[in-house]
Amino acid sequence: MEIHSVILAAGQGTRMRSNLPKVMHPLLGRPLIWYSVESARQVSGTKPVVVVGHGADEVRKALGDSVEFVCQDQQLGTGHALWQAEPALRDKKGLILVTYADMPLLTSETLKRLVEAQQSHTGPFTLLTIEVDDPRGFGRVLRGPDGFVREVVEEAQATPEQQRIKELNAGVYCFSSDWVWTALPQIPLSPKGEYYLTDLVGLAVRQGKAVKAITTDDPNEAIGINTRVHLAEAGAVLQRRINKGWMLAGVTIADPASTYIEPEVKIGQDTVILPNTHLQGTTEIGEACEIGPNAIIRDTKIGSRCTILASVMEGAVLEDEVDIGPFGHLRKGAHLATGVHMGNFGEVKNSYLGPGTKMGHFSYLGDATIEQDVNIGAGTITCNYDGKKKHPTHIGKGVFIGSDTMLVAPVNLGEGARTGAGAVVTKDVPEYTLVVGVPARPLRKVEKDE
């Protein structure tokens, strides 16, 4: 059966007290809405339709063409919001799965269960409920003696007796498409002047139709984000969920509470993650690495058997057996080949360091290509910027750079070249030649095995 999905995301989120639209607030590095889109897409297999309104431009920009957008110009309630999706979906057969964008922890498994429940149901829809002690301002679910749902009452309208009901509306629905588009225009205006999607229950009941409900057994799934307190709660739950997944997949996490792994990160078996580590964006880590403590790694690809201690990297590539830190900083375009060693206070930007190259102490390499087995002495700097343009540096195989060398780019050091301590290299250095001084001059040739 065809399954289409609609995500309601037009509300302002007044209770967040923010200039940022609610659904754009980040949760482990992704905007809230990203989570709803991911889980809806996994269930429906079609492009979700996202109803936008408040901050529509920002939401459109964040999601691009991964979804279809419809606009709700005036936020007249959740029922009105779904109605806006009618032109996009009216001709579709099958089922319409509806979720709210402020419920990021719903899993695709639960959504699938809801869809299956509706597939075996002859009534017009099935909704998801949750049983918890803290009502969180959710609508209360009233069931009849036959077990079917009789009504969903919003908290503001609930009588004291109804307020004590523990079964809550999670805000997830699976509708038969034939029914929903004809029903939406019949929703009455609520006392608050909104068209509540939840009033479709009463409407169906008045038509003599049965509304089914299934309950989720994981109360965490129903953490909806209405305030920043909820945002932090959801962040903690998501963090635990992701960390648990990696531990079961063979990754050691010494202190899950201080380990922040974003949802698109990948980690190989037998890698050990030490406390205070943040793995962000599209980072991928191979097998048997030791990461942290205190590592912040974004959009970086790391091979196997690497060691990264107290370092920061973004947009870098590390091959196998690379060892960095403490206090290394790799910036965009840093590429460290197999066996590179980088000690404390090194910074590398847009540069290749060949296999076995060593850079032990406080150095800066930018826009440089460094061949294999090069020794970068303490305090070496590529002076790559002349105030107007960036220039490249090339260092040949087996070069030995003396401490405190300034490499004034553009400059090329031939294979086996050497620089004396404190040299300021302004001209190319021929292979197997030692240069010294300011500006550096050739002193003598060096033997290959010297």
List residues with catalytic annotation. 361
Tell me the β-bridge partners of 346.
363
Q: Is 134 exposed, middle or buried (0-12, 13-18, 19+ CB in 10 A)?
A: exposed
3-state helix, strand, coil in the chain (%, to 5): 25, 35, 45
**Which residues 152-181 are close enough to bind ligand UD1 by CB under 6 A?**
152, 154, 168-171
Residue 42: which H helix or E strand, with range? helix 32-44
Residue 138 interacts with ligand UD1 (CB under 6 A): yes or no: yes
Nearest to 142 by CA among 224, 102, 199: 199
Task: Between 226 and 357, name the residue whose CB sits nearer to Ca ion.
Answer: 226
Write out the binding residues for ligand UD1, residues 41-60 only, by CB under 6 A: 51
* Interaction of residue 196 with ligand UD1, rule CB under 6 A: yes
Residue range at the interface with ligand UD1 (CB under 6 A); choices 194-202, 259-267, 300-308, 395-403: 194-202
Tell me the closest approach of the beta carbon of residue 77 to ligand UD1, in angstroms.
Answer: 5
42 binds, among ligand UD1, Ca ion, none (CB under 5 to 8 A by kind): none
Work out the burial of residue 444: count CB atoms within 10 Å of its CB; fewer than 13 is exposed, 13-18 middle, 19 or more buried.
exposed
Residue 8 interface partner, choices ligand UD1, Ca ion, none, CB cut-off 5-8 Å depending on type: ligand UD1
34, 35, 83, 100: which one binds ligand UD1 (CB under 6 A): 100
Owner of token pair 């997830």? 172
Backbone φ, ψ for residue 313 (5° rounding):
-145, 145
Is residue 430 reached through a cis peptide bond, with omega within 30 degrees of 0 on the bond before it?
A: no
Q: Which member of 16, 89, 101, 429 binds ligand UD1 (CB under 6 A)?
A: 101
Give 72 or 412: the residue with its C-beta nearer to ligand UD1. 72
Return the range that interacts with ligand UD1 (CB under 6 A); candidates 37-45, 68-76, 232-240, 437-445: 68-76
Q: How far apart are the C-alpha atoms of 177 and 83, rounded to whole Å?
A: 12
* Residue list 261-320, contact with ligand UD1 (CB under 6 A): none
Among the listed residues 31, 77, 286, 416, the single contact to ligand UD1 using CB under 6 A: 77
Residue of minimal Cβ distance to ligand UD1: 139
Nearest residue to 340 via CA among 365, 315, 424? 365
Question: From ligand UD1, Ca ion, none, which one binds at residue 433 (CB under 5 to 8 Å depending on kind)?
Answer: none
Task: Write down the residue that tokens 């909820």 correspond to.
Answer: 230
φ and ψ of 125, to 5 deg: -165, 165
In contact, 281 and 261? CB cutoff 8 Å: no
CB of 135 to ligand UD1, least distance (A): 9
Which helix (H) or strand (E) segment holds residue 214: the answer is strand 211-216
CB-CB neighbours of 88 under 10 Å: 16
The two structure tokens encoding residue 167: 């079964």
The answer to whether the CB of 307 falls within 8 A of the CB of 321 is no
Among 3, 6, 10, 407, binds ligand UD1 (CB under 6 A): 10
Mutual angle of helices 32-44 and 56-63, in 10-degree steps: 50
**Contact range with ligand UD1 by CB under 6 A, out of 9-17, 315-323, 343-351, 378-386:** 9-17
Residue 72 within binding range of ligand UD1, rule CB under 6 A: yes
**In angstroms, how far is CA 278 from the centroid of its own chain?**
11
Residues 59, 49: contact at Cβ < 8 Å? no
Binding site for Ca ion (CB under 5 A): 102, 224, 226
Residue 103, interface with ligand UD1 (CB under 6 A)? yes
* Binder of residue 138, out of ligand UD1, Ca ion, none (CB less than 5 to 8 A by kind): ligand UD1
User: Which stretches of 151-272 are DSSP H helices?
Assistant: 160-163, 177-183, 199-206, 228-248
From the list ligand UD1, Ca ion, none, which binds 342 (C-beta under 5 to 8 Å, kind-based)?
none
Closest CA to 150 of 202, 197, 190, 209: 202
Task: Supply the minimum distance, in Å, between the C-beta of residue 76 and ligand UD1.
Answer: 5
Among 31, 124, 139, 325, the residue binding ligand UD1 under the rule CB under 6 A is 139
| Nearest distance in Å: CB 303, ligand UD1 | 41
* Residue 81 binds: one of ligand UD1, Ca ion, none (C-beta under 5 to 8 A by kind): ligand UD1
Nearer to ligand UD1, 177 or 198 (CB): 198
Q: Name the site residues for ligand UD1 (rule: CB under 6 A).
A: 8-11, 51, 72, 75-78, 80-81, 100-103, 138-139, 152, 154, 168-171, 196-198, 224, 226
